[in-house]
Amino acid sequence: MSANTAMATKYRNSFLKEVEEQVEMGDWVKMCMQCGVCAGSCPVNFQSAWEHPPQEIFMMIRAGKREEVLTSPSMWNCTSCYNCIVRCPRKLPITHIMHGLAEYAHRLGIAPKMQPTRFFSGLFWKNATKTGRVNELKLSMGLYFKDGFGAGVKEGMKMKDVALGLIKAKRLNPMELLGGHKCKDQKGIQAMLKKAYEIERSRKAAKMAG
Amino acid sequence: MADIKVAAYICKGCGLGERLDTDALVKVAQKDGKVPLVKSHDFLCNADGVAMIRNDVANEGVTHIMIGACSRRAKTEAFFFPENAVARANLREGVIWIRPDTEEARETTQDMAEDYIRMGCAEVKAMTAPGGNPNTGSNKTLLVVGGGVTGMTAAVEASKAGYPVVLVEKSSALGGWGARLFKRIPIHEPFKSPADTGVADLVSQVMGDSNIKVYLNATIAKTEGAPGRFVVDVATESGATHTEDIGAILQATGFTLYDMNKLPELGAGKSPNVVDQAGLEALASEAAAKDGVIRRPSDGQPVTSVVFVQCAGQRDTTGTHLSYCSGYCCNTSVKQAMYFKDANPSVETVVVYTDLRTPGNGEDFYRSAQEKGVIFTKGKVSQVLPSGNTSTVKFHDLILDDTDATIADVDLVVLATGQVPNSGVNIEALAKPQVAGEEGEAPAEGEAVEVKPISILNLTYRQGPDVPQLTQGFTDSHFICFPYETRRTGIYTAGPVRRPMDMAQAREDATGAALKAIQALENAELGRAAHPRSGDLSFPKVRLEGCTQCKRCTVECPFGAIDEDEKRFPVFNESRCRRCGTCMGACPVRVISFENYSVNTVGAQIKAVDIPDEFSEKPRILILACENDAYPALDMAGMNHNEYSAFVRIIPIRCLGSVNTIWVTDALNAGYDGVMMMGCKSGEQYQCHFVKGSELGRVRMSKIDDTLKTLNLESERVRDLEVAITDIKRVPEMINKYAEELVAIGPSPFKGF
């Protein structure tokens, strides 16, 4: 049984309870009074990708629309500008809840796979933890080729002048493509990450178990 | 009157001396005003100036005083001569402050001042000093009708203030709706949980107060008289009638819940598991007496899920149900949801609302409910479908715009149905068929108005047995300016009969109304008017010899003060009168007057104005300005130095309703070029201090066009304007615009006749 079905079975018809227990800051969801100030304050508001503003996400949680919420790309669009937190009259930590929901959907494995934010987050994490240093060249190349080879080449050509400029200004080293710079204590970094993963895994497992 | 002696005093202070030729004003008063004693003073309102006037009253036998200084609304304490007739010529706010201080304007400004002196002298001669209504009663007992929270609070408050109270309650116990509540919405910090109702305490306070006499199972069989001398028959269950002498009445007859059986689409009447808020209170009280578990009525199983339907039969736009918001039901549902959550947090509680309105400290209470896990869903319930022991609630989710949102397997549905006032008979609805009947027409079928059959006060008043209603059956009162006043002097309403409200508001209301009632009975004893002319000693006097029994005064009096005797002559109950003068304005034969305000006092002023001939290019505009709103607005325009035309002559009137058409025709006949009438807003959103005064005045004035036609005058010569007290800028603009328009129309053809 997948983590998703396990959780769905566990909380049967109380998605709000599931969010309260599983999602970081999820216990705040019930305090929303549907004023809509968050939606009005959000800079992402007018982009088509933004399907549900936070207010709606909260209402959907209360209405038990589990599938719709967790597979929604909406919370992935949050830019963490914190406007909503500043303005919320009920002092809900909306930004954190959005990230909490995104993280939970990711943990359950049902978050939209190719959602750019999610894709980039994964890419960044892999890139940074591999050597302990961010390889910017590989990171941006990875993002360019997200939607296939053709699209990647096209995007790369579009950014050609910028790249050349960066190389001239010595802000970009093409040699990075061949491995790149690394953190000195590779083993130490990996050991540290391993420990962190372990702690997180056990904490989440405990949370999901109950 | 032979033995009157008039004196005129002209002030030179506040710049009057510099801007005006006061010596000329003195001469005008002597020559045109025919006043034997005229004095000017450098600073009339100071101790020396006032002493001069007092000295003349004491030693020179002065009975009538004309003061040419500031507005009659200023320096009222200095110029306080209750024994004398006093008129004030408004030279400061009305002349120098609204005119530019320039050489060109000097002549017209002086003309204006001289006219006001003439008007003041003419007015004061037509006046006598008001002596106070002799027909008073001195009873100090307060009758409280209704033994609910409002009534009991009013009784306790009045008793604490030292006034005996008679409390009449229709049912067999005190407490009303309050006693039927399990708990109440909290009124103290931290506003987090339902609180004890406190009704039992209040009942014992009332029962233990020797100053409060309680009649249970009793109704009011008859109320007659006037403030200070009401005689009330209290009918008890046994059939006996007790007569009580009463000073003032406070009606706290509360509300009835809107009948939920009118809402079958919300499942009402289809299942015992659909209840109204009172039904839930009963279930909660029942549960509290046992194990604290609220059970569903159909099979006695514990309730595990409950849905609260807000605005059930309220805020209805289709005209079928209540159109208004009752204001308390959101807080009540919050409270009732807590009954469940406090006992067992696992009970599912959903409140479906369209706009959650939580007055007072309800916002904290609402937040507390959210913390406790009550779910609030913004939506409009379309259907409740009971089936077996559960129901399905269908609603339109207004956030997600889901028209087919559903909550299934609900054990209990609570409908928030709202308050319908117990205000007795709608006397205006009653009056209609009567009038139709008199004219020999049967009321058309289906037109018959729904009349609540039971009168509460059973007043013997000519205008009907209960207090008039404003809208939706709620008793008439001005929401902001004078909330407790009804259109029956000495009778106050408080609580949900006045407007929908919760218990905290009702208690506040009761206290306010009790104090107003006390004020009314104290004023009644002294023969003085109540709000808004409180303290006024004048009262309507009628020359019955001239009366034609036309009944206009008895029908039009906004306060039902005038009854009719067997011969159909009007009987003025002065203590019920508010001194608006609507009767005076209505009287076609002009036999009604006040000592200091009459057809003559205003008429004499109109005639006293000097009308220059048509070639002088000095038109004259008469302004009749309501003293409550328009006149203060004009005064304030003066204080702000908002200039207006020097051709207007302003006469303050008590109310637009007191305007007798003779003033208008007299003015036009005398050669005035135009007449402006400034009264308060009328209609449902009225601002008239006498409620119906400005409306009645306007109805009367709407017929002035015929008069103008017979005089062969343009209808633009008379203008009716709605003026509010805040129109400080607008009023001067309106005046100036009208003055320009009149120039275009040309001078009145009646000049010089």
Q: What is the pLDDT of residues A81-100, one digit of tens each?
A: 999 999 999 999 999 999 99
Q: With an 8 Å Cβ cutoff, is A34 touching chain B?
A: yes
Output the domain CATH number for residue A7.
Answer: 1.10.1060
Last residue of a domain, one of B419, B450, B483: B419
Q: With an 8 Å Cβ cutoff, is A35 touching chain B?
A: no
Does residue B717 form part of some domain? no
Q: What angle, 0 to 180 degrees and rounded to 10, lies between the N-to-C axes of helices A116-131 and A186-209?
A: 140
Element (H, E) at B548: none
Task: Report the mean per-residue pLDDT for chain A.
Answer: 90
Cβ contact B538:B275 at 8 Å: no
Does residue B35 form part of some domain? yes
My answer on whether A96 and A124 are in the same domain is no
Query: In whole angstroms, what is the distance from residue A129 CA to residue B567 CA?
Result: 107
pLDDT of residue A6: 82
Mean pLDDT, residues B50-69 taken together: 95
Helix (H, G, I), strand (E, B) or coil at B734: helix
- CA angle, corner B82, sides to B81 and B87, nearest 5? 60
My answer on whether B398 and B411 are in the same domain is yes
Quick: pLDDT tens for B581-594: 999 999 999 999 99
Helix (H, G, I), strand (E, B) or coil at B55: helix
- Mutation for B interface: A11, A19, A27, A34, most B CBs within 10 A: A34
Q: Which two tokens stand for residue A95?
A: 């930004």
With cut-offs at 50, 70 and 90, classify the pLDDT of residue B501. Answer: very high
pLDDT of residue A147: 87
pLDDT of residue B109: 95
My answer on whether B325 and B247 are in the same domain is no
Does residue A121 form part of some domain? yes
Does residue B723 form part of some domain? no
With cut-offs at 50, 70 and 90, classify the pLDDT of residue B564. Answer: very high
Which domain covers residue A57, as residue numbers? 3-112
My answer on whether B289 and B321 are in the same domain is yes
Mean pLDDT, residues B667-682 taken together: 93
My answer on whether A169 and A130 are in the same domain is yes
Contacts of B367 in chain A (CB under 8 A): 31, 90
- Mutation for B interface: A33, A66, A69, most B CBs within 10 A: A33
Q: With an 8 Å Cβ cutoff, is B270 touching chain A?
A: no
ipTM value for the complex: 0.85
Helix (H, G, I), strand (E, B) or coil at B643: coil
My answer on whether B209 and B236 are in the same domain is yes
Report the percent of chain A where pLDDT is more than 90: 57
My answer on whether B248 and B265 are in the same domain is no
Tokens 């007092």, residue? B54
pLDDT of residue B442: 42
Quick: pLDDT tens for B289-348: 999 999 999 999 999 999 999 999 999 999 999 999 999 999 999 999 999 999 999 999
Mean pLDDT, residues B616-633 taken together: 94
My answer on whether B149 and B50 are in the same domain is no
With cut-offs at 50, 70 and 90, classify the pLDDT of residue B353. Answer: very high
My answer on whether A162 and A145 are in the same domain is yes
With cut-offs at 50, 70 and 90, classify the pLDDT of residue B471. Answer: confident
Interface of B with A in 374-393 (CB under 8 A): 375-378
pLDDT of residue B69: 96
Element (H, E) at B217: none
My answer on whether A80 and A146 are in the same domain is no
Q: Higher-confidence residue: B41 or B714?
A: B41
pLDDT at residue B432 tops 60: no
- In this structure, the strands spanning B64-69 and B6-11 are parallel
Contacts of B402 in chain A (CB under 8 A): 63
With cut-offs at 50, 70 and 90, classify the pLDDT of residue B436. Answer: very low
Q: With an 8 Å Cβ cutoff, is B342 touching chain A?
A: no
Last residue of a domain, one of B525, B550, B568: B525
Q: Which letter does DSSP use for residue A145 in this model? A: G
Contacts of A30 in chain B (CB under 8 A): 370-371, 373, 375
Mean pLDDT, residues B393-420 taken together: 94
Last residue of a domain, one of A60, A79, A112: A112
My answer on whether A106 and A125 are in the same domain is no
pLDDT at residue B431 tops 80: no
Output the domain CATH number for residue B230.
Answer: 3.50.50.60
My answer on whether A52 and A10 are in the same domain is yes
Contacts of B371 in chain A (CB under 8 A): 30-31
Does residue A205 form part of some domain? no
With cut-offs at 50, 70 and 90, classify the pLDDT of residue B391. Answer: very high
Does residue A208 form part of some domain? no
pLDDT at residue B124 tops 80: yes
Number of domain units in chain B = 3
Mean pLDDT, residues B360-387 taken together: 94
With cut-offs at 50, 70 and 90, classify the pLDDT of residue B440. Answer: very low
Number of domain units in chain A = 2
pLDDT of residue B439: 41
Last residue of a domain, one of A112, A134, A163: A112
Last residue of a domain, one of A44, A78, A112: A112
My answer on whether B370 and B389 are in the same domain is yes
My answer on whether A106 and A124 are in the same domain is no
Nearest CA in chain B to A17: B373
Does residue A69 form part of some domain? yes
Task: Report the mean per-residue pLDDT for chain B.
Answer: 92
- Averages of pLDDT over runs of 10 residues in chain A (210 residues) are 80 86 93 92 75 92 93 91 95 96 93 90 92 89 89 90 92 85 90 94 84
Q: Which two tokens stand for residue B90?
A: 């408004």
Helix (H, G, I), strand (E, B) or coil at B230: strand
Of A34, A30, A156, A176, which Cα lies nearest the Cα of B378?
A34
- Mutation for B interface: A21, A28, A59, A65, most B CBs within 10 A: A59
Helix (H, G, I), strand (E, B) or coil at A60: helix
- In this structure, the strands spanning B230-236 and B375-387 are unpaired
pLDDT at residue B437 tops 70: no
Start-to-end CA distance of chain A, whole Å, equals: 17
Q: With an 8 Å Cβ cutoff, is A74 touching chain B?
A: no
Contacts of A90 in chain B (CB under 8 A): 367
Task: Nearest by CB to B377, from A55, A56, A62: name it.
Answer: A62
My answer on whether A9 and A92 are in the same domain is yes
Task: Nearest by CB to A55, from B373, B399, B405: name it.
Answer: B399
With cut-offs at 50, 70 and 90, classify the pLDDT of residue B32. Answer: very high
pLDDT of residue B86: 95
Query: In whole angstroms, what is the distance from residue B428 CA to residue B54 CA?
Result: 50
Does residue A206 form part of some domain? no
My answer on whether A65 and A128 are in the same domain is no
- CA angle, corner B660, sides to B654 and B664, nearest 5? 105
Query: In whole angstroms, what is the distance from residue A87 CA to residue A37 CA?
Result: 7
Which domain covers residue B115, as residue numbers? 1-129
Task: Nearest by CB to A63, from B356, B371, B400: name it.
Answer: B400
Q: How many residues comprise chain B? A: 753
My answer on whether A132 and A94 are in the same domain is no
Number of CB pairs < 8 Å for A and B? Answer: 34
My answer on whether B297 and B371 are in the same domain is yes
My answer on whether A7 and A107 are in the same domain is yes
Task: Nearest by CB to A59, from B371, B373, B399: name it.
Answer: B399
With cut-offs at 50, 70 and 90, classify the pLDDT of residue B446. Answer: very low
My answer on whether B284 and B340 are in the same domain is yes
